[in-house]
Amino acid sequence: MTVTIDDIRRAEERLDESAEIRQTPVEKSTTLGREVGADVWFKFEHLQKTGSFKPRGAFNKISQIARGDATRVVAASAGNHAQGVAFAATELGLDSLIVMPETAPQAKVDATEGYGATVELHGKTFAEAMDVAQTYADDPDTAFVHAYDDPAVVAGQGTIGLELIEQVPDVSVLTVPIGGGGLIGGIATAVKAHDEDIRVIGVQAEPAATVPQSLDKGHPVENETPDTIADGIATGSVSDLTFEIIQEHVDEVVTVTDTEIAQATLWLLERSKQMVEGAAATSVAPLLSGAIDCQGETVVPLLCGGNIDIATLQDMLTRALVDRHQFVTLYVRIDDRPGVLGEIADIIGRHDTNIRSVRHDRSEEGLPVGKADLVIRTTTPGEAAMGRVLSEIEAAGYTIKRVVPQSERIGN
């Protein structure tokens, strides 16, 4: 199996038959460009139908299946491929059955059913869901649609590369998230056919990374427990097909931490006003962290999806804000008498800092009689504001015992 530029061009023709799948826009990011010393353009693929790039590959594959005898398609997915398959099958007049892990975000389950699919939940991981889905493919009326181990699916994703070449003709660097490798495989095939000098950089979430080890060993390796906030790329492996394309066409693969992904997600919300999922933010994370040197280049990070679960978003924002010292817990030693809490609360409020919770701790070993510790969880605009709070509390005669990041989820 392989994928050629002609396959991708034929996929583009098939996608033109869809009334819903469209060319997604690009937009220049002056802010990020200034930070990294490059000309940066975002590819807004999270604005695609179903909120991700997945309908491209699914439609290209299912449009060919629809010409045969199958009446139903089946797929395994953590979420975005599920929606792409459900949408494409419904548009092309086929039934669809999607097997998702039990850990799949409810929002993605609901969306998949909303596009017309029947959803079954099996297993804790993508691999376990895949095992169940493949058993359904034994039915002669059913065709299996793999998320990435299929030339037709890879070719469909490659149509993004054709668009990019037209939209940003002087592109010199692409940063593309890697899960199973279908997205980067298709895009890299398309852009390298146009210009071998375009640098294609793959990005994986560190807790779910398999490609760096695979490249070292010369064959795909598996991560049986991929655990990352970027759930859309937590596949645990690439296929032989996508691995060979990565070997041939991808120039570099870097990894980013979950903290860096969370920071990139927050940056995109604040500075670009784009709400994307963790998988999409991985394409921006190495630029913000400095892991990729792209000074003077024309860079296109691919924002591949926007289907973020709200609880996951809450956790990601909390993690990023903790790192910024905007969620802080104070431990203040006080005289245990009426009115002290009000005095300290007044100090905190004068500096635009909000108290989320507070309690008196009178149980610490060695605590003098008549003393207590106030444990105050706060939300603050930033380190400068917190510095003013601490200085004024100490100036009022109180002892600050500890200042620590508040790592709990907001609202707990």
Query: Above 80 in pLDDT, residue 230?
Result: yes
Q: Do domains 54-144 and 325-405 have the same CATH topology?
A: no
Quick check: pTM over 0.75? yes
Query: Above 60 in pLDDT, residue 407?
Result: no
- pLDDT for residue 234: 86
Query: Above 60 in pLDDT, residue 41?
Result: yes
For residue 368, which of 336, 412, 330, 397 has the smallest C-alpha distance?
336
CATH classification number, 325-405, choose in 3.40.50.1110, 3.40.50.300, 3.30.70.260, 3.60.40.10: 3.30.70.260
- pLDDT for residue 406: 61
Average pLDDT along the chain: 92
Tens-place pLDDT, residues 164-209: 999 999 999 999 999 999 999 999 999 999 999 999 999 999 999 9
- Name the more confident of 130 and 166: 166
Mean pLDDT on 31-59: 97
Tens-place pLDDT, residues 232-254: 898 889 999 999 999 999 999 99
- pLDDT for residue 323: 76
Mean pLDDT on 89-111: 91
Q: Which CATH architecture does the domain made up of 54-144 adopt? A: 3-Layer(aba) Sandwich (3.40)
Query: Above 80 in pLDDT, residue 364?
Result: no
Query: Above 80 in pLDDT, residue 118?
Result: yes
- pLDDT for residue 127: 78
Locate the domains of the chain by residue range.
Answer: 5-53+156-320, 54-144, 325-405
| 60 vs 18: CA distance, rounded Å | 10
Percent of the chain exceeding pLDDT 90 equals 78
Lowest model confidence (mean pLDDT) among 126-135, 138-147, 332-341, 391-400: 126-135
| 173 vs 158: CA distance, rounded Å | 16
- Name the more confident of 383 and 412: 383
- Name the more confident of 320 and 193: 193
Tell me which CATH code domain 5-53+156-320 carries. Answer: 3.40.50.1100
